[in-house]
A and B are shown apart, each in its own frame.
Chain A
Amino acid sequence: MHIAVCLSRLPDPNTVEVDPLTGAVDASRMLYILNPADAAALERALQLRAPEDRVTALTVGPAEADSILRDALAVGADDVLRVWEEGRTSTRPAVTALLLATALRTTELPDMLLCGTRSLATGSGKVPALIAEYLDWPVVTDIVDFTLQGSMVRFLRRLAKGARSEGEVMLPAVLAVEAGAAALRYAGLPDLMKAKRAAIPVQDLSELGLSPVDLNFPAPTAQATMPPYRRPREIFVPEASLPPHERVLQVMSAGIAQKSGRIVSGSPEQAADQIIAFLADRGFVDRAG
């Protein structure tokens, strides 16, 4: 059997420091790790492997991502492959999934594809499902445990609130494993040293038969709608400029001002003007008149 495992290299959350003023991440202090869920997937693959089986580890990333492939080699992966387009700075889940699926198609389709169910970085959890879509395979996400029975996998999925669901899926399939599913083994010294010296094969777009245009998906066009929300309750606040006893009175009246008249003064014309201005202010009459 041939098992492929998709790995991703991401910043260690403990080393990510965000500037509170600018919101910028200090890249110079960041260290990178293998995504814990991917590590669990790799460990499960190694546990499943019979002597005649093969485990291939793949990643999408720049040259620095070689380190996680070396780690995979050290713990026992048979082959590794890195896919990358020089000059690219990041990938969206759809691009990552397309690159991985194409790489698998062009090299050799595995019998089973394992990956972490979501990354620690963005955690969209889209990649497993998208790879499955590109390969036209079934996908099972949030797997906490699974066993292989012939060409069928019995799995246990994590649901909300601690519930679990059992199920079966026929291979080939994409299995997305939770971070807690297994702890990655510790590499022996000779393997570690051999992995350190190993050459990491890289494939770029042309080797995959892709053109950069293939990666330029149109931006998703969804209609933006605002969710309904409750109108905030208006809380009565007394006028700050008033003396304390009047503010207390206002609060005690719960914002309901007592009806009170107002007497205008001055000559009849001035009084009339004031009354008209008063009514105009409140929209009862047109000021133009």
Chain B
Amino acid sequence: MAVNGGSEHFDVIVVGAGPAGSAAALIAARAGLSVALIERGEYPGAKNVSGAVFYGSAILNKLIPGWWEQAPVERHVCRRDLVLMSPTTSVSLDFRSSAAGYSEPPYNGFTILRPKFDRWFAAQAEAAGAFLLTSAVVDDVIKEDGQVVGVQVRRDMGELRGDVVIACDGANSWLARKAGLQRELHTHELSLGVKEVIGLDEATIRERFQLTGDEGVALEYVGAVTDSVHGGAFLYTNRDSLSLGILGQLSSLVEHKKRPYDLLEAFKAHPAVAPLVRGGTLREYSAHLIPEAGWNMVPTLYGDGILVAGDAAGFCLATGIYIEGINYAIQSGLAAGTAAVEACRRQDFTRYSLMKYMELLYQRNVLTDLRAYRHAPAFVNGERLQNVYPELAARISESLFRVAGDRKQKLLPLYWQTLQQVGTKPRHVLKDLYHVARAYLW
């Protein structure tokens, strides 16, 4: 590492020690580069909030074989529920599997507590040789002739210079905006997640969620749970606690004048959720922005001397079926790290050299997935999917399973009648069917 005139020079400066940042720092440090990993929190993970289920176990396994044995993971997810809700009823699709892909190493996904996980992951990068600097807020990028040559840290003499800056500073990326790569985000592109961690003893969790050993469950809710706000809710089992929370699209929270914590309280009081959280004690309360628009909010991902990865790049797949982000963060971090390594090898840090990042993102299936499901976020956050169809499903199930001595209707008339009750026209349904097909089928 070159030390010139007191200020240090790094090959790579990674801003933000979340999954994307630590992955980028890890791969660059392993390649022998001098890497600075800068984190604004007192420790990596201090400021990070996520559900969280981490579905990228296989990805991380390639990087750190058998990572789950040393990392602070909670439970491996082998049961997933998608629950449609009306105020009184819930209809769910329950998936559980003990197939090899789910219940044997490397597993499919783990529930994690981000403060612990991020601290561990950053420590891996540090062990590989990255220089981890905590309690350091990055205010701006330093530009010379349009080329990013470093970052400005909010400290005395806070200039830190490096050849490549990788911005992994999260959903509301200050750095990508300062570098002119990202526009101001719209409120309909962001969701606000409000989350609680509720302590509950291990035996109760196993019994309540029908789990054995370290098995875990991820429950995801759509419908009346968020009232008229577009969003959803989740409930994940940790070892001796539950992570649960609601997500609400910012624009619709504003439009309906709803407070997210009121929604969270309503969610916890819902008849389908209340028995699951009964008797728990509140341990943590946190909130975070989530970039949900997917493909449509992806910024320019590379510039002269700068790359954008993770949530800062909007790499979050919220399509209803998939609610993933951490895996894409790690993938994009690895891609950015690799691109930086190659740029350093060529000693060419212009955008043309760093364009390699795009190729790597396609190779690592980040952009391919995001592009394939580019129509899904708009559909998922649409009015009817959010509020009408869960209600419809609930009502149809209610009439289907109720025995009151009346003549039993066949399904089509029942469906027709319920459709009219909830005030949706058949052409809307057809239109939505087309949207579903476009978003998910081809």
Contacts and interface: CB of A to CB of B under 8 A. Distances in A.
B399 interface: no
B398 interface: no
B133 interface: yes
A188 B158 CA distance: 7
Contact of A189 (B42, B116, B156): B156
B43 A187 contact: no
Given A31-B42, A196-B133, A189 B160 contact: yes
A17 B156 CA distance: 36
Nearest to B159: A189
A190 B160 CA distance: 9
Contacts of A236: none
Interface string A177-194: 000000000111111110
Contact of B155 (A17, A31, A187, A196): A187
A199 B223 CA distance: 57
Contact of B8 (A28, A188, A193): A193
B119 to A, nearest CB: 10
A43 to B, nearest CB: 16
Contacts of A28: 116
A188 B156 contact: yes
B152 to A, nearest CB: 10
A90 B153 CA distance: 37
Nearest to A71: B135
Nearest to B119: A31
B408 interface: no
B25 to A, nearest CB: 15
Contacts of A191: 156
A15 to B, nearest CB: 10
B131 A196 contact: yes
Interface string B147-158: 000000101111
Contact of A192 (B6, B7, B43, B136): B136
Interface string A188-221: 1111110010000000000000000000000000
Contacts of B43: 31
B136 A189 contact: yes
Nearest to B135: A192
A186 B133 CA distance: 14
| Interface size grouping (class) on chain A | 10 to 19
Interface of A: prevailing SS: helix
Nearest to B284: A29
Nearest to B201: A21
A17 to B, nearest CB: 7
Contacts of A189: 136, 153, 155-160
B129 to A, nearest CB: 12
Given A31-B42, A196-B131, A190 B283 contact: no
A188 B155 contact: yes
A193 B158 contact: no
A121 B6 CA distance: 39
B159 A17 contact: no
B7 A190 contact: yes
A189 B156 CA distance: 6
Contacts of A17: 283
A43 B136 CA distance: 20
Contacts of A192: 133, 136, 155
A28 B43 CA distance: 14
A23 B337 CA distance: 46
B113 to A, nearest CB: 9
Given A31-B42, A31-B43, A190 B157 contact: yes
B133 A193 contact: yes
A192 B136 CA distance: 10
A141 B7 CA distance: 42
A186 B283 contact: no
Contacts of A186: 155-156
Interface string A126-163: 00000000000000000000000000000000000000
Q: Which of A28, A186, A188, A192 has the most CB of B within 10 A?
A: A192
A191 B42 CA distance: 17
A187 B157 CA distance: 10
A178 to B, nearest CB: 24
Nearest to B46: A31
Q: Which of B6, B42, B156, B157 has the most CB of A within 10 A?
A: B156
Nearest to B132: A196
B204 to A, nearest CB: 13
A31 B46 CA distance: 10
A196 B133 CA distance: 8
A187 B8 CA distance: 16
Contacts of A31: 42-43
A31 B133 CA distance: 17
Given A188-B155, A188-B158, A189-B160, 12 more contacts: A31-B42, A31-B43, A187-B156, A188-B156, A189-B136, A189-B153, A189-B159, A190-B8, A191-B156, A192-B136, A196-B131, A196-B133
List 4 A-B pairs, minimum CB-CB distance, nearest first: A188-B156, A189-B155, A189-B158, A188-B157
Interface of A: 17, 28, 31, 186-193, 196
20 contacts: A28-B116, A31-B42, A31-B43, A186-B155, A186-B156, A187-B155, A187-B156, A188-B156, A189-B153, A189-B155, A189-B157, A189-B159, A189-B160, A190-B7, A190-B8, A191-B156, A193-B8, A193-B131, A196-B131, A196-B133
